[in-house]
Amino acid sequence: MKKALIVGAGPAGLTAAYELLTKTKDIEVVVFEESDCFGGISKTVEYKGNRMDMGGHRFFSKMPEVNEWWDRMLPMQGEPAKDDILLERTAVLEAGGADPEKAERVMLTRHRVSRILFDSKFYDYPISLKFETFKNMGLLNTMKVGFSYMAALVHKLPEDNLENFYINRFGRKLYSMFFEYYTENLWGRHPREIDASWGAQRVKGLSITAVLKDVFGKVFHKKNRKVETSLIEEFKYPKLGPGQLWDVTADEVQKLGGTIIKNAKVVKVHKNEKNEIDSLTYEKDGREHTVEGDYLISSMPVRDLVAGMNDVPEEPARIAEGLPYRDYMTLGVLVSELNLQNKTNIRTVGDIVPDCWVYVQDRNVKLGRFQIYNNWSPYMVKDLEHTVWIGLEYFVNEGDEFWQMSEEEFSRIGVSEMLKLGLIDRPEAVLDTHMEKVKKAYPAYFDTYDEMDNLIEYLKTIGNLYCVGRNGQHRYNNIDHSMITSFETVKNILSGRNDKSNIWNVNAEQEYHEENGKQQG
């Protein structure tokens, strides 16, 4: 029997393991996970009965194969959730679906609200054309935005960096208001230093033109209108946070006979004279262990993969070593109340603002975004009716000033910034805090990234190596993109296909999913 060695028990790694085990009995599967939990950066952290979503994860895909997979793991809700019951509101239900009040394995349908906090005012994200938007901007700024956008339509800038990418789609004024500082805060680099392909993958077809099309599509009730991912109004979400999906998947993998080794850090990958991977070495409990295998599916950071590999030529080694990452810190803050008025027509428990997350565009704070876990799922919060559970998100570099802070220091800064932004009106509103850190949360698109194609060509020459997922491909993939890289990998392994272009093309071409969705739908 052949053996597949899978590095990482996040979305890509666990998907590959499950797909192999359900599609063939001829391949043994062993998964190596560096941490003691599943889900990678899609994990859920529990603290005193309250749950934190690391980074915020909406479950939405245009790919039928992905949606069917999610439904298999976590059936859609067939009865109202706790907040639906408390508010006596109508919920989107699946006939014969699970009851979230009784069952654990449930996928909820949630309403998407994401806004920008700028100049102490809320703006829809993506920017909407509501009266409130223009009222918040004021007449002068609205005129500047309009003329700026018209200028961008007439005079297109070369899209050789992220700044020009945004200006072409939104105009310089809107870019400076809502994108410039946030992007610089997120990446630690000015947008003009970042490759435009990040915008192409994350924002895709979003622009003022796309917003207008969406508005008129609703007005004229256009059927089968194409909706950009950023404009979706509903999404799926696991009852207990995104990590629940991967806890369930890991359990299924083990039931199917797969082996998962936790706290196992892969440190070496061994190539033989045929330029194929024949084994890897991992560290566990202070000891090194070497395991042989026939296939290596890697979702570990490609920089670490190449660094741990023998006989790598100078150029690909240099490119891999120079690939940058952005790390992430979050402070869970339990408060008795939020000092933000719910001026929307969306009802919530406790009448808190309905946002899942809010982008912070304020140069006076380092806070990049905050989540309101109550709105992701009512089951993320221990006392839903009397507390609000917030996640303050900071984008940092491992080893920098923030990264080295103690939990007490980080908590003090987070709470002070909440006061500065008016999220709370007094320190006494804070009942508890909890700090979490995530290394290499975001693969970054600068430094040697512009040479990534050369590195990919080298990695393709290693016949039995398959790079999957966000860090495995150094590509800012969504969960469904990461899963699809593993779907394609398993198809290649089982069919004997040597060309790996299908794996590397996932999320690299804007229409990839739409086209595949049409083929499968």
The residue ranking higher by pLDDT, 146 or 356, is 356
pTM assigned to the model: 0.90
More confident residue, 519 or 250: 250
Which two structure tokens, joined as six digits, stand for 77? 């809700």
Full 3-state SS string of 309-362: ECCCCHHHHHHHHCCCEEEEEEEEEEECCCCCCCCCCCCCHHHCCCCCEEEEEC
Tell me the average pLDDT across 151-159: 91
Residue 127: DSSP 8-state: P
Enumerate the β-bridge partners of residue 297.
6, 466
Radius of gyration of the chain (CA): 23
SS (H, E, C) 27-89: EEEEEECCCCCCCHHHCEEEECCEEEECCCCCECCCCHHHHHHHHHHCCEECCCCHHHHHHCC
What per-residue confidence (pLDDT) applies to 210? 55
Q: With a cut of 70, say whether residue 338 has pLDDT above it.
A: yes
User: If you average pLDDT over residues 196-213, what whole number do you get?
Assistant: 62
The position carrying tokens 């998947």 is 249
pLDDT band at residue 243 using 50, 70 and 90 as cut-offs: very high
Phi then psi for residue 410, to 5 deg, are -65, -40
- Based on the number of CB atoms within 10 Å of its own CB, is 5 exposed (0-12), middle (13-18) or buried (19 or more)? buried
More confident residue, 405 or 126: 405
CA distances (Å), 92 to each of 76, 102, 107, 110, 111, in order?
10, 17, 11, 9, 10
The pLDDT of residue 241 is above 90: yes
pLDDT of amino acid 136: 82
pLDDT digit string, tens, across residues 305-320: 999 999 999 999 999 9
Contacts of residues 270-275 at CB distance under 8 Å and 24 or more positions apart, as own/partner, are 270/309, 270/310, 271/309, 271/310, 271/311, 271/462, 274/463, 275/461, 275/462, 275/463
The pLDDT tens digits of the residues spanning 417-439 come to 999 999 999 999 999 999 999 99
Mean pLDDT throughout 50-74? Answer: 94
Q: Tokens at residue 179, please?
A: 């994108």
Element (H, E) at 419: helix 407-421
Structure confidence at residue 201 (pLDDT): 66
Using CB atoms within 10 A of its CB, is residue 423 exposed (0-12), middle (13-18) or buried (19+)?
buried
Count CB-CB contacts under 10 A for residue 382: 15
For residue 291, count CB atoms less than 10 angstroms from its CB and return exposed for 0-12, middle for 13-18, buried for 19 or more. middle
Mean per-residue pLDDT of the chain: 90
> Cα separation of 302 and 484, whole Å?
18
Whole-angstrom Cα distance, residue 49 to residue 30? Answer: 32
Which of 103, 126, 104, 106 has its CA nearest to residue 116?
126
Percentage of residues of the chain with pLDDT beyond 70: 91
Of 99 and 121, the structure prediction assigns the larger pLDDT to: 99
Using alpha carbons, select from 293, 306, 310, 307 the residue that is nearest to residue 31: 293
